[in-house]
Amino acid sequence: MKIRTWRMLAALLLTFLVVFVTPLSTMAQTHTASVQEEIQQAELDRQIEEQLKLQKEYERAIVLMEQHLNVQFDGTFTLDVPNGAAIGVDEQIFNDLYQAMQNTNASIQAGVVSPAEVSMHTFSTSIDEPTSIDACSGRTGVDFFWWGQRVYLDSCNTQAITDTAKGVGATVGGLCAVLSGMPGVNVPGLPTCVVAAAILAIGGFVIDGIHTAGGRNGIYIDNIIGPVPPYIWHQ
């Protein structure tokens, strides 16, 4: 009789564990996974916002500084304002762009790029060449400006570098090789591996998020020559 009673109790306990405890454990695991996903998404959103902040701050400064930019007879550039305060630009950003201008001048004087290749107007550059193949959206190419280079990647090339950057064991060398193999990107005067290092530092998931936010029409990478890490935004 006692043995039968213990067996019944054991069966009831087993039933309780199966019916109540197992689902609770599964729910706890699901909740933990959901919390982890939320944390990852919050970090991704923060990094995308960081790229947007850089894009807005530097592009605003570029617009204001170009109103005071002059071209010399040898093709080099000068500014007719002494500091950022004179035109309402953050001093650090002004100094970064001023140093970038000096670096561009040095490249012109050294013959790395010709004056004809370098534009003083960032946001009025016309694009005459075909921008991309039919199956891809956006433009692939490189424009040279007084502050550095803007690298455009169409949607297909953006996907290629995103997939590479997301890969386990992704390296600067690997990304540099991918970029160098893209027609329109591997041009003289562009520090391709510097751009590749920036892509790897920003990360494939962040780039994919930025690309998606822009409708997946490609991205651009601004390489301000000097201490400023390149930043990325969508076309």
For residue range 117-144, list pLDDT tens digits in order: 999 999 975 444 445 556 899 999 999 9
E strand or H helix at 122: none
Residue 234 tokens, joined? 């969508």
Torsion angle in degrees (nearest 10) through CA of 229, 91, 57, 201: 10
Sort 47 into a burial class: Cβ within 10 Å, 0-12 / 13-18 / 19+: middle
Q: Is residue 33 part of a domain?
A: no
- Give pTM, 2 decimals: 0.80
Give the pLDDT score at 40: 87
Number of domains forming the structure of the chain: 1
Decide if 123 is inside a domain: yes
Is residue 112, in this structure, part of any structural domain at all?
Answer: yes
In degrees to the nearest 10, what's the CA dihedral of 194, 195, 201, 207?
Answer: 180
Model pLDDT, residue 133: 54
Residue 19 domain-assigned (yes or no): no
10 in any annotated domain? no
User: How far, in Å, CA of 51 to CA of 46, rounded?
Assistant: 9
State the Cα–Cα distance between residues 145 and 115, nearest whole angstrom: 10
Of 148, 170, 172, 153, the residue nearest 220 (C-alpha): 153
Decide if 5 is inside a domain. no
- The closest of 122, 123, 53, 121 to 90, measured between CA atoms, is 53
* Residue 18 within a domain: no
Single-letter residue type at 177 = A
Across the range 186-204, mean pLDDT stands at: 93
Q: Which domain does 193 fall in, by range?
A: 44-234
Among 23-32, 71-80, 192-201, 205-214, where is mean pLDDT lowest? 23-32
- Return d(Cα 125, Cα 22) in angstroms, integer: 63
Q: In what order do the strands lie in the sheet with 219-224?
A: 118-119, 141-145, 148-153, 219-224, 231-234
Given a contact cutoff of 8 angstroms between Cβ atoms, the answer to whether 78 and 66 are in contact is no
In-domain check, residue 34: no
50 vs 8, more confident: 50
